[in-house]
Amino acid sequence: MPGEKQAEGAIVESFNESTENEEKEVELEEKGDHSIFSVKSLLWHGGSVYDAWFSFASNQVAQVLLTLPYSFSQMGMLSGIILQIFYGVLGSWTAYLISVLYIEYRSRKEKENFSFKNHVIQWFEVLDGLLGPYWKAIGLAFNCTFLLFGSVIQLIACASNIYYINDKLDKRTWTYIFGACCATTVFIPSFHNYRIWSFLGLAMTTYTAWYLTIASLVHGQTEGVTHQGPTKLVLYFTGATNILYTFGGHAVTVEIMHAMWKPQKFKSIYLLATLYVFTLTIPSATSVYWAFGDQLLDHSNAFSLLPHSAWRDAAVILMLIHQFITFGFACTPLYFVWEKVVGMHDTKSICLRAVCRLPVVIPIWFLAIIFPFFGPINSAVGSLLVSFTVYIIPALAHMFTYKSASARKNAAEKPPFFLPSWTAVYALNTFTIIWVLVIGFGLGGWASLANFIKQVDTFGLFAKCYQCPPSPSSVHY
């Protein structure tokens, strides 16, 4: 026992010392010019616990605020509220597992005197270091594909939203325009540099959520409103997988942790961010669904049913800016992967790295034009990609990492206080895997793909203006 405690203490001490040294290096670099330091620190160079909280809370809600009422119309209000809470808690658990595996990996590497000064650790590297190359390949494939389509969804949302302010251009044209705008995220080096953006992003989604809530209540229920959901299993599980997607924003957990000065303090950050997100998603989704009911089945974007006003225009503009930020959040890990592939990850020049990153944006742009199905694409991504990327794989990886008695004995992080035994941890991981595999991937995959195929049959690929009202010239009398 004394030897075990000494070894454990040495790991934690080494890890703490390494992160403190990194923090001191940054401070020394910035002390050169005090006036520049204060502005740069405020706007550009974040790494505190608060920065991580803002990053997760801001990144988690984004455009999904606008599709949750659509999900409520598919599955009913009670199921919508219950599943938001359920997947929020389940997502917080798997985010915690990812953070434990990150700390385990980093502790082991730093015992080998490996320096991460010019290297950003990513999820697939954690899997490689702890479990080997096959796990690395699986993690890389799922994570990159999910982040790719996560970026696609942000572009689609930009085009969908701006159309409600200016419908002189169709949604496809707006996708071209916002693709070029979002490509400027190649100039943001890492998650350290999202400090002010994360703060502003959360302020923007908070405004939008409460605008949706208040505007719906002021508008009142439409004449003859009905709330029949759920009416079909396919609709029920499509809505459920959109909620699964909503609370699956922790695909960037490792990169955000690596940007923290003291990543060992991460443990409860995602849960605290999720609790705040509940104050945005539950009131807004219930209010919009209460006001418009089953009309939402044909209107996946909540903005489309609310009357035009300066308040709505402000919400649309703020969401556009926030989607630019979220695009950067989803794309930055992809930028890192591509930099490592082409050997540019250690380059200090921002301009050279930006040029290197540009090819990543092109397939995202193209896919957003092919599949402009705002709403249904969220559910498809949730069931096929989020289910594995941020629920099943982390739970399995945690179980395999600590399957031996020696691994559990020397673990850098012991089971949490609310699950004090390894048996309880394994039981919860097993439940997570089975639930998400059967409900999220199985039934959710069937439902979301059926709905997605229906959108393709109805609107076609490369749809010029998805769910746009018919123009006067196309109406025949």
Mean pLDDT, the chain, rounded, equals 83
Question: Residue 423's pLDDT is what?
Answer: 94
Question: Residue 365's pLDDT is what?
Answer: 87
With a cut of 90, say whether residue 84 has pLDDT above it: yes
- Cα separation, 376 vs 118, whole angstroms: 39
Does some domain include residue 406? Answer: no
Does some domain include residue 428? Answer: no
Question: Residue 42's pLDDT is what?
Answer: 61
Does some domain include residue 370? Answer: yes
What are residue 351's phi and psi, to 5 degrees? -65, -45
Rounded to 10 degrees, the C-alpha dihedral 63/68/69/71 comes to 130
pLDDT interval class at 472 (50, 70, 90): very low
Question: Residue 221's pLDDT is what?
Answer: 93
Q: Which residue blocks in 348-443 are alpha helix, DSSP H?
A: 350-370, 376-381, 393-401, 405-409, 422-435
Contacts of 396 (CB under 8 A, 6+ apart): 429, 433
pLDDT interval class at 40 (50, 70, 90): low
Does some domain include residue 241? Answer: yes
The distance from CA 204 to its chain's CA centroid, rounded to whole angstroms, is: 16
> Is the separation of the CB atoms in 300 and 375 below 8 Å?
yes
Does some domain include residue 18? Answer: no
| DSSP string of 55-91, one letter each residue | HHHHHHHTTHHHHHHHHHHHH-HHHHHHHHHHHHHHH
Nearest to 87 by CA among 307, 399, 390, 446: 390
- Cα separation, 75 vs 144, whole angstroms: 30
> Per-residue pLDDT averaged across 259-276, rounded?
86
Does some domain include residue 427? Answer: no
| DSSP string of 266-324, one letter each residue | -TTHHHHHHHHHHHHHHHHHHHHHHHHGGGGGG--SGGGGSPP-HHHHHHHHHHHHHHH
Q: Kindly report, residue by residue over 103-120, the tens digit of the pLDDT.
A: 999 888 888 877 777 778
What is the count of structural domains for the chain?
1
Nearest to 47 by CA among 304, 335, 255, 201: 255
Question: Residue 242's pLDDT is what?
Answer: 86
Nearest to 334 by CA among 177, 152, 159: 152
Question: Residue 268's pLDDT is what?
Answer: 83
Does some domain include residue 467? Answer: no
Sign of CA dihedral 229, 234, 240, 242: negative
> Is the separation of the CB atoms in 66 and 303 below 8 Å?
yes
pLDDT interval class at 39 (50, 70, 90): low
Q: Which residue has the tokens 């923290």?
A: 260
What are residue 345's phi and psi, to 5 degrees? -65, -30
Rounded to 10 degrees, the C-alpha dihedral 440/445/447/452 comes to 130
Does some domain include residue 93? Answer: yes
- Cα separation, 13 vs 11, whole angstroms: 5
Give the Cβ contact number of residue 30 at 10 Å: 15
CATH of residue 202's domain is 1.10.4160.10
Q: Kindly report, residue by residue over 317-352, the tens digit of the pLDDT.
A: 998 888 888 888 888 889 989 988 888 887 888 888
Q: Kindly report, residue by residue over 381-404, the tens digit of the pLDDT.
A: 888 889 999 999 999 999 999 999
With a cut of 80, say whether residue 128 has pLDDT above it: yes
With a cut of 60, say whether residue 237 has pLDDT above it: yes
Residue type, 169: L
* Residue 316 domain boundaries: 46-395+436-459
